[in-house]
Structure 1
Amino acid sequence: MATATPQSSLSFPRETFAKLSPHPYLLANLQPSAKNVSSTRANGRTPNQFRTPHINNGSLTHAEGSAVVRVGDTTVVCGIRGELLLASNVPNYRSDKATTAPSARPGYNEAKELDLLVPNIELATGCNPSYMPGQPPSVLAQSLSTRIYSLLHTSRMVESEDLRIWYQPPDLSEGDKMDDDDEESEEMEPEIKAWWTLYIDILFISLDGNPFDAAWAAVVSALRDVKLPKATWDPEREVIVCEDEVEKARKLTLKGCPVAVTALVFRKDQLKGREGKSWILIDPDTFEEGLCDETVTVTVDCTWRKTKLLGISKSGGTIVGMEEIKEIVSSAEERWYELSKLLGG
């Protein structure tokens, strides 16, 4: 007599469960039923674990500086090209002497006032299923450009002196001595004839979460790769002349090495407030970003052997307080020592 074989239970792959019930799926990973199983995320990382970064400089031939940054499945290409801005083309810029120019005033941010650093972010077709071809610039691309622009100027990483092109007038007083020595010395002061404007183009060719951290790392790495041609003012033709020799090109003197770290807050019960259990997820991916409504980004710089907090931005939620901020800053310090080796900081 034949025995009936038991019917196999219906089972689905992990990816199917993640799509059908994303919140319970992530919660089951962070809060496993077995006590001997550690808390992990759906991607296998611990809550405070970063993805491995990969950085390659000088990938673009026709750019003053470039970098390719890959963090997990998020890949960013940054190219920086330099263009000249003549002082004669700047409206109301009349004081061109070294001691009377606006740049001589304390606290004057020349790069910001003259828009010498111009970032632009583009999300390439195919980088993420959410971005279709033929669409206008997305809200994400515009907000990222604004945040990159703000951090470039608040960090003061690019020295304005590196962007200036000076001209020293010849000394004509030998043949015709002047009676007033002060007036003579004033005429012989160097003049700013032009500035370098850096156009920072950032292209996402793959996007799997945490776009700001990857974009900022690409910007810092590309700025460290920039080599500007030697430029001088030709008084006879009244033009800027750039040297072709690569040996005469100079690198930027960057101040510090800022690193940005983003974290999300995942709540066990989305309907509860601060009293519910929650987890801080460092360096989130796209799957985690869709399940969290509170985001914190901190920017630190440990170049001078102490942590310099350059900025904290927070959006949504009510869970993150002082203790959570300290935890994120501590993770950012660890990330800085890892990334600074790749960025050359």
Structure 2
Amino acid sequence: MATTTQKPQNAPSLTFPRPIFAAVSPHPFLQAHLSANKKNPQRANGRLPHDFRKPGIHTGSLTHANGSAVVRLGNTSVVCGVRAEILREEDIPGANGVSPHLSNKAAEEGVEDDDNDSEEIDTLRLIVPNVELSTGSTPSHIPGTAPSPVAQSIITRLRSLLLSTRLLRASDLRILHTPATNAADPACAPETVLKGYWVLYMDVIFISIDGSALDAAWLALLSALRNTILPRACFDEDLERILCDDDPLAARPLSLRGLPVPATFAVLQGQPEESGEEDVRWILSDPDAFEEGVCRECVCVVVDEAGKLIRRVEKHGGGVVGRREMRDMVKRAGERWRDVQVALSGKA
């Protein structure tokens, strides 16, 4: 009599798949990756702690904008468009035909007042950044609602960074006019007067967000401003209005000051009971969304001139970062600056 035997079934696995492990215990999951190799620690995304994601920058993507750019950092994608509109002198409260920030000598010689340059742009609201999160850009964003705290925070930080770095020059935004004759005294030379300003509306739209949102938004904004072209605007005395020249050769780009580049870092403080060591920590460059959710301390360093000039330092949460860690972040930010400079030059 033939008998049949059943093969023993495999025992259920006692380990969690990576996505479940990351969702149930995110901190031990990330620390396990970094602690696996103490000489060359590797993050869950495969990058080393000091590695940045290579920026992808494409300018001139929007045909109906004065300047535009598309930037991608890993899975973070941003589109920025710059639109220039004219603010007439009569619509400026207290102008009375002459800018309070511009003297006649400065207007004639083309010299700007460096001390009041940022104040002039801020007071007259000549830069208007706006941030929008598209549907599906991040799981926490609910479409059809008011601007989220994330978008409002990025708007505030972008505007503050534009003013503190003095990236834009007020002289590029002024629309001046020198009449043929001096109406008050024909014997004297005519005085140059202010007739209006260019107001730059900068719309930043996130297609997807996977960490380092400010870095991506600023790179898109910076690239779009470097791509911005303003038509030549002049005041017509017969029509008594500002007209723009249709000749593209008469248009001019913005003369920006420097190349400020932000670099975001996240600090992961290890748990001694898991690693067996005391005071273990990792500084992660350009963190993704998962790492930002795990780490309790983030630092953003804005540098220029390959890290020789520190424009701004922002720190949120925690108390791990000291002088030694800050020096390391500034050094890494300088390396990031070089990568961005290469990407903007089109040599990448």
Q: TM-score, normalised by structure 2?
A: 0.88
Letter in 2 for 1:300: V
Do the aligned residues in 1 keep the contact of 2:54 with 2:339 (CA within 8 Å)? no
**Correspondence list, 1:215-254, <5 A:** 215-254=217-256
Letter in 2 for 1:107: D
Rounded Cα–Cα distance in structure 1 between residues aligned with 2:70 and 2:20? 33
Rounded Cα–Cα distance in structure 1 between residues aligned with 2:197 and 2:40? 55
Deviations 1:5-35 (A, max 9, x none): 5734514431221112111110100111x66
Question: SS of the counterpart of 1:223?
Answer: helix
Instruction: State which of 20, 25, 31 in structure 2 corresponds to 1:27.
Output: 31
Aligned residue number for residue 335 of structure 1 = 336
Letter in 1 for 2:42: T
The alpha carbon displacement at 1:95 in A equals: 6.1
User: After the TM superposition, which of the residue ranges 128-137 and 204-213 deviates more from structure 2?
Assistant: 128-137
Letter in 2 for 1:217: L
Aligned residue number for residue 151 of structure 1 = 161
In structure 2, runs of 5+ residues without a counterpart are none
Do the aligned residues in 2 keep the contact of 1:220 with 1:343 (CA within 8 Å)? no
Instruction: State which of 194, 197, 211 in structure 2 corresponds to 1:195.
Output: 197
Do the aligned residues in 2 keep the contact of 1:95 with 1:101 (CA within 8 Å)? no
Aligned residue number for residue 134 of structure 2 = 124
Do the aligned residues in 1 keep the contact of 2:86 with 2:199 (CA within 8 Å)? yes
Letter in 1 for 2:341: S
Instruction: State which of 294, 299, 307 in structure 2 corresponds to 1:296.
Output: 299
Instruction: State which of 133, 136, 139 in structure 1 corresponds to 2:149.
Output: 139
Aligned residue number for residue 178 of structure 2 = 168
Instruction: State which of 240, 260, 264 in structure 2 corresponds to 1:262.
Output: 264
Question: SS of the counterpart of 1:78?
Answer: strand
Deviations 1:75-127 (A, max 9, x none): 00000000001111111113617526999656112211211111011111111
Rounded Cα–Cα distance in structure 2 between residues aligned with 1:101 and 1:142? 40
Instruction: State which of 107, 113, 116 in structure 1 corresponds to 2:115.
Output: 107
Aligned residue number for residue 52 of structure 1 = 54
- In structure 2, relative to structure 1, the CA distance for the partners of 1:260 and 1:270 (3 Å cut) is farther
Rounded Cα–Cα distance in structure 2 between residues aligned with 1:150 and 1:3? 72
- In structure 2, relative to structure 1, the CA distance for the partners of 1:205 and 1:40 (3 Å cut) is same
Do the aligned residues in 1 keep the contact of 2:67 with 2:81 (CA within 8 Å)? yes
- In structure 2, relative to structure 1, the CA distance for the partners of 1:208 and 1:270 (3 Å cut) is farther
Deviations 1:268-324 (A, max 9, x none): 1399xxx73211111011101111111110100117xx6111000111111111111
User: After the TM superposition, which of the residue ranges 129-138 and 106-115 deviates more from structure 2?
Assistant: 106-115
Rounded Cα–Cα distance in structure 2 between residues aligned with 1:200 and 1:172? 38
1:311 aligns to 2:312 (yes or no): yes
Aligned-pair identity in percent equals 43
**Correspondence list, 1:6-85, <5 A:** 7-10=10-13, 11-32=15-36, 38-85=40-87
In structure 1, runs of 5+ residues without a counterpart are 179-183
Letter in 1 for 2:316: S
Rounded Cα–Cα distance in structure 2 between residues aligned with 1:106 and 1:226? 22
The alpha carbon displacement at 1:217 in A equals: 0.4
Aligned residue number for residue 181 of structure 1 = none
Rounded Cα–Cα distance in structure 2 between residues aligned with 1:239 and 1:64? 21
Rounded Cα–Cα distance in structure 2 between residues aligned with 1:219 and 1:23? 33
Rounded Cα–Cα distance in structure 1 between residues aligned with 2:300 and 2:74? 19
Question: SS of the counterpart of 1:59?
Answer: coil
Letter in 1 for 2:328: E
Do the aligned residues in 1 keep the contact of 2:182 with 2:191 (CA within 8 Å)? no
The alpha carbon displacement at 1:39 in A equals: 0.8
Rounded Cα–Cα distance in structure 2 between residues aligned with 1:333 and 1:38? 22
Count of matched residue pairs: 329
Letter in 2 for 1:189: E
* Alignment RMSD (CA, Å): 2.5
Question: SS of the counterpart of 2:48?
Answer: coil
